[in-house]
Chain A
């Protein structure tokens, strides 16, 4: 169905269908964000010997996030007197919009995808880079020193870690011969999941992804014990919620990307093909999200200069070596077999 839609001519009906499907995806993602936050708090609670949310919505706290969002909506919206007003207002939007844009290319199953474009992977990385601008803008516009430091850190960190992120997936592109996310999954169906063929790339990607998401141990951007909250220190109410929302949507998108690139997307485990692909995707995806939450419960925060050093002096060379070895391996494999 998706296939036909994607190749049909533009028209009002098609637009309507796309709009409807987009809304559905939005709701799915918002639902995910709602329960990802709850899951994070519950898992953290479990790891840290406490209950987590347990009041609102039964003992699982199922309505906790909804209540939190409601509270944020009702909060007074404050803008600092000396802030750069237009920039201050637009910054959350700049940070937030790309986070939803990247979702378009992600194939949740072989049928469920919104834009099957040839350079899906490239699109994802290019668009997600835009969010940095939002963070820097917010940091600058707030006219707050902590925010400025946070914004500077955000720019440095996100740019530095984008490079190993891209480099690490080059090995996968070499193996699958495509930038299209669908083709990448299809290539894994022919051989094996890329986590087995590209273990080094997986680790580099996971580390760089954690840094891109500015999650622990790379949460220097909003290091609450150093910079209070970093670039969004002056934000309150729903503007602040936009930053948080974009962060969790990225968590969604990045986990989906990891699932697709390394865990074979919707591909089932052998002999378990009767379980639908969407469930496989959800399972693998949840596992990746869990890893990110696990990180958060375990690690202390890196220091800014170590972060840079680690990115440039460790991750980039490893990623480069990985590309070289992958290419070499591929050539040798084709030569002998």
Chain B
């Protein structure tokens, strides 16, 4: 008598494709997933609680470690929140440096996402190509702030370091190089039949579901919702640049992949314009007191990180430390839809779906 049995499979926290210490408890029948239960928290460091005992400038390095693939946007959201509370005017040159750094960070993030996604799907080469370009950008950022991963670059009121001599030219030279490589990426992967068969129509959700699950960033735009905070609630100096909000209609893994690759192109456009408009001289830090104290009250700001909307809420009682600090971490919110998407899929699709959501565990766990 043949008898089949459900099997309980613990995927992670040590698993090559969970992008860190993510764990999913799977109930599987053969290779078909009956139920998936994500378990998070293995990388929880209590950033928000720790911040309550830290001065604002001291919190910035902690934000680097949330979404460590794209630390610039995290730096910015905290500074932006404090600046909003204090009502600071930011010097132009600082704003341009910030935008260039953030957009370069976005390109890095999407490159890593692209490379690791293809690695998850079994192609090893794209990963190394993506990291070659990432290396070029990281070197640029290294020249700017002396760090390659955890930048600690921004300060309340501006940025810590000015661009070294010739840096802007280097960034300008990088843009055509990156465009060329991007075309190569499409040649290598985007039309590959095997790749398409893995991602087309996989992990589909609708516009309504995306909004219900509070998805943001590429995971939202892939369903056709034209929502990008850089356009819809312009912060910093994004209203000075001409760029498109990339959307797709289908809402499957392929559309998310396409949105990310095209966003690299849009980021290049922004960097191109920013480099063009870059003021020859000027301050890089606004006039801020030595010890920063946010006035009593509260503020919530949100910006567009590569993964979605990252928000920062600060409640202050007028001291030099925040009374309460809270981040809206996009990876965490984007992950919510996972159990729904996984039901009835097989393990190979699990990898494709999880990879397309593009989480960073540092951010999920906070």
Q: Is the interface of A mostly helix, strand, loop or mixed?
A: helix
Residues of A within 8 A of B168 (CB): none
Q: Is B346 an interface residue (CB 8 A)?
A: yes
Task: Report which B residues bind A (CB closer than 8 A).
Answer: 7, 9, 15-17, 30-31, 118-125, 128-129, 132, 188-189, 192, 194-195, 197-198, 346-351
**A299 at interface by CB-CB < 8 Å:** yes
Give the CA-CA distance A47 to B348 in the complex, in Å. Answer: 26
**CB-based closest 10 A-B pairs:** A301-B122, A300-B123, A48-B128, A300-B121, A225-B17, A303-B348, A300-B122, A225-B120, A297-B125, A300-B195
Smallest CB–CB gap between A203 and chain B, Å? 14
**What are 17 A-B residue pairs whose CB atoms fall within 8 Å in the complex?**
A149-B347, A216-B123, A217-B122, A219-B122, A225-B17, A225-B119, A225-B121, A226-B347, A228-B16, A300-B122, A300-B192, A300-B195, A301-B348, A302-B198, A303-B349, A304-B31, A304-B346
A7 beta carbon closer than 8 Å to chain B: no
List 16 extra interface pairs beyond A300-B118, A300-B189, A301-B348, CB under 8 A: A44-B124, A48-B128, A50-B128, A149-B31, A216-B122, A225-B120, A226-B348, A227-B347, A299-B122, A299-B192, A300-B123, A300-B195, A300-B198, A301-B198, A302-B197, A303-B349
Q: A297 touches which one: B119, B124, B192 (CB < 8 A)?
A: B124
- Asked whether, in the complex, the Cβ of B129 is within 8 Å of the Cβ of A48, the reply is yes
A225-B17, A226-B17, A226-B351 known; A302+B194 contact, CB < 8 A: yes
Contact of B128 among A49, A300, A302 (CB under 8 A): A49
Binding site for B on A (CB under 8 A): 44, 47-50, 145-146, 149, 152, 216-217, 219-220, 223-228, 296-306
Which chain A residues lie closer than 8 Å to B118 at the CB level?
300
If A225-B119, A226-B348, A300-B195 touch, does A47 touch B7 (CB 8 Å cutoff)?
A: no
Q: Which of B15, B188, B194 contacts A217 (CB 8 A)?
A: B194
Cross-chain contact B194 with A300 (CB below 8 angstroms)? yes
Q: How far is the CA of A220 from the CA of B195 in the complex (A)?
A: 14
Instruction: Give the distance to chain A from B197, nearest Cβ to Cβ, in Å.
Output: 5
Contacts of A219 in B (CB 8 A): 122
Q: How far is the CB of B348 from chain A (nearest CB, A)?
A: 4
Q: Are A48 and B16 in contact (CB under 8 A)?
A: no
Chain A, residue nearest B202 (CB): A303
